[in-house]
Structure 1
Amino acid sequence: MLLNSGGELLFCAHHMRKHDDSLRKIASDIQDETDKLNKK
């Protein structure tokens, strides 16, 4: 996740889901790769 302030944060899927609404307010870009977790 890239922040509007220019920083970057990395979250596991669990914590991203838990804080999704708040994080989307401060993010300029979110890259969600949870679909890769169960990929074989």
Structure 2
Amino acid sequence: MLFESGGELLFCAHHMRKHDDSIRKIASDIQDETDKLNESK
């Protein structure tokens, strides 16, 4: 996640879901890779 004010912060899927509403208010870009957790190899 990139902040509108600058900087980057990484969250695990659990914490992203927990804080999703608050994070989306201050993020300029969110890269969600949750789908990669279930990819078969």
Tell me which interval the TM-score lies in, with the shorter structure as reference length: over 0.9
Task: Write out the 4+ residue segments of structure 1 that deviate beyond 4 Å after TM superposition.
Answer: none
TM-score, normalised via structure 2 length = 0.93
Percent identity (aligned):
90
Q: Which has the larger radius of gyration?
A: 2
Unaligned runs of 5+ in 2: none
Equivalenced residue count is: 40
TM-score, normalised via structure 1 length = 0.95
RMSD value over aligned CA atoms? 0.5
Unaligned runs of 5+ in 1: none
